[in-house]
């Protein structure tokens, strides 16, 4: 197989090699370097030792951001673990028109998070559709201010993330359902197990591995959340900036006169530390599947 000249592979690999070095490996190294400097968006960047990390210890906003991330994760996990599975079970039977439903359910996934967040801003407004319908149906007597207040904002953003993620995880489950034994389902049915019983004792155990994959994916994306919170709070991070996420903090320090790229890099390292575990697990799961 050694018919090619020695440099041919490197010619083909050229662009990918440049991008690997310049836009993947170097930024990874430089994040660590920057975290020990006071670099600003408008220049500067002298070594400041562990000053940025000391600052992190006294950053009240960071505490809020981390608490928000944990709440985000804990609420998203059960919802995105089961709702998409139910959708997938619904789509599993090849009924006429099922392709249409599958495509339609996937639409929120392909829409930009900005578009989705603006749609939800309109839906959740004091005089928006959700408040209107809830009052019409008697669930609420006066509008609920979904877009103000730390926790309501956070839960509005979570509901948006869940809604946008439904189709994504649904497709993952759908391909896993194909491997769930049909005989097992039939046997359970013959034994008199109803659909709910069969869901818990046949379907769920059958997609165990996929559920692990989904929970890792949900965890990582909850820790990385940005656009939903940014757009719903109009870039402010909510009252007193208490509805921020870690990535929102990183973005906030990336620009303007008050920006601090060194501190933003230290926060990036923190993001790396809390995501690296799930990311490694994800890599393992994907390799096993492949």
Partner 1 sequence: MTQLTTPPAGAPAKTPAPAPKRRRRGSGFGTMRRREKLLRYALLLLALVVTVGPFVWQLSTSLKGAGENIYTSTPQFIPSDPTFDNYLRVAETIPVLSYAKNSLIVAAMTVIGNAVGATLAGFALAKLHFRGRTLFLALVLGTLVLPGEVTIISQYVTVRSLGLADTLIGVALPTTVAMLNVLLMRAAFMAIPDEMDEAAVIDGASAWQRLIHVGLPNVRGMLSVITIFAFIGAWDDFLWPLIVLTDPQNYTLTVGLQYLSGAFTANPRVIAAGTMIAFIPIVIVFATLQRFFFRGVEEGAIKG
By CB under 8 A, is residue 265 in contact with partner 1?
Answer: yes
Work out whether 63 is an interface residue with partner 1 (CB under 8 A).
no
CB atoms within 10 A of CB 189: 14
Which residue reads 């165990």 in tokens? 208
Interface with partner 1 (CB under 8 A), residue from 50, 54, 60, 122: 122
Number of residues that bind partner 1 (CB under 8 A): 101
Is residue 209 a contact point for partner 1 (CB under 8 A)? no
Nearer to partner 1, 23 or 49 (CB): 23
Cβ atoms of 89 and 199 within 8 Å: the answer is yes
Sign of the alpha-carbon dihedral angle for 95, 96, 99, 102? negative
Beta carbon of residue 154, minimum distance to partner 1 (angstroms, whole number): 19
Piece of the chain touching partner 1 by CB under 8 A; list 53-61, 148-156, 200-208, 231-239: 231-239
- Across 72-107, b (16+ Cβ under 10 Å) vs e yields bbebbeebbbbbbbebbbebeeeeeeeeeebeebee
Return the structure tokens found at 77: 């996990």
Site map (CB under 8 A) of partner 1, residues 12-31, x = contact: xxxxxxxxx-xxxxxxx-xx
Subset of 81-100 contacting partner 1 (CB under 8 A): 87, 90-91, 93, 95
6 part of the interface to partner 1, by CB under 8 A: yes
- In the list 148, 181, 224, 239, the residue contacting partner 1 (rule: CB under 8 A) is 224
Phi, psi of 93 (to 5 degrees): -70, 130
Q: Hey, is 210 helix, strand or coil? A: helix
Burial 192-205 (b: 16+ CB within 10 A, else e): ebeeeebeeebbee
**Which lies closer to partner 1 via its Cβ, residue 24 or residue 205?**
24
**Tokens 């904002």 identify what position?**
153
Query: In the range 167-186, which residues lie near partner 1 by CB under 8 A?
Result: 167, 171-172, 175, 182, 185-186
Residue 264 contacts partner 1 per CB under 8 A:
yes
**Binder among 52, 210, 227, 243 for partner 1 (CB under 8 A):** 227
Residue span 140-159 as binding mask against partner 1, x where in contact by CB under 8 A, dash where not:
--------------------
Scanning 55-63, 74-82, 199-207, 226-234 for contacts with partner 1 by CB under 8 A, the matching segment is 226-234
**Stretch of 48-56, 65-73, 128-136, 146-154 lying at the interface with partner 1 (CB under 8 A):** 128-136
Instruction: Determine if residue 254 is left, alpha or beta; phi over 0 gives left, psi from -120 to 50 gives alpha, anything else beta.
Output: alpha
Please list the residues that pair with 37 across neighbouring strands. 47
Helices (H) and strands (E) in the chain, counts: 15, 0
Q: Which of 34, 76, 80, 147 binds partner 1 (CB under 8 A)?
A: 34
Minimum CB–partner distance for residue 54 and partner 1 (Å): 19
H/E segment holding residue 184: helix 182-190
CB 19 to partner 1: min, Å = 4
Using CB under 8 A, which of the segments 46-54, 71-79, 201-209, 220-228 binds partner 1?
A: 220-228
What gap in Å lies between CA 105 and CA 185, rounded to an integer? Answer: 26
């Amino acid at each position: 197989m050694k018919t090619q000249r020695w440099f041919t592979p490197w010619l083909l690999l050229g662009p990918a090699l440049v991008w690997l070095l310049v836009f993947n490996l170097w930024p990874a190294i430089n994040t660590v370097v920057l975290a020990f400097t006071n670099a600003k968006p408008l220049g500067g960047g002298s070594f400041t030792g562990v000053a940025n990390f000391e600052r992190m210890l006294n950053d009240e906003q960071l505490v809020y951001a981390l608490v928000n991330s944990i709440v985000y994760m804990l609420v998203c996990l059960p919802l995105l673990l089961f709702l998409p599975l139910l959708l997938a079970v619904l789509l599993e039977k090849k009924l006429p028109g099922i392709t249409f439903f599958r495509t339609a359910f996937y639409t929120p996934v392909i829409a930009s998070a900005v578009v989705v967040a603006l749609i939800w801003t309109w839906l959740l407004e004091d005089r928006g559709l959700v408040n209107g319908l809830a009052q019409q149906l008697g669930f609420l007597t006066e509008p609920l201010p979904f877009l103000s207040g730390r926790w309501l904002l956070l839960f509005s953003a979570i509901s948006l993330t869940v809604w946008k993620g439904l189709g994504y995880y649904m497709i993952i489950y759908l391909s896993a359902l194909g491997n769930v034994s049909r005989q097992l389902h039939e046997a359970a049915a013959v034994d008199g197990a109803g659909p709910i019983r069969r869901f818990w004792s046949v379907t769920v155990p059958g997609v165990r591995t996929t559920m692990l994959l989904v929970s890792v994916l949900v965890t990582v994306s909850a820790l990385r959340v940005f656009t939903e919170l940014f757009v719903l709070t109009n870039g402010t991070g909510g009252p007193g900036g208490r509805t921020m996420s870690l990535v929102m903090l990183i973005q906030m320090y990336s620009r303007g006169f008050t920006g601090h790229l060194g501190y933003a890099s230290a926060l990036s390292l923190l993001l790396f530390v809390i995501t690296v575990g799930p990311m490694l697990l994800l890599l393992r799961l994907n390799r096993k599947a492949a």
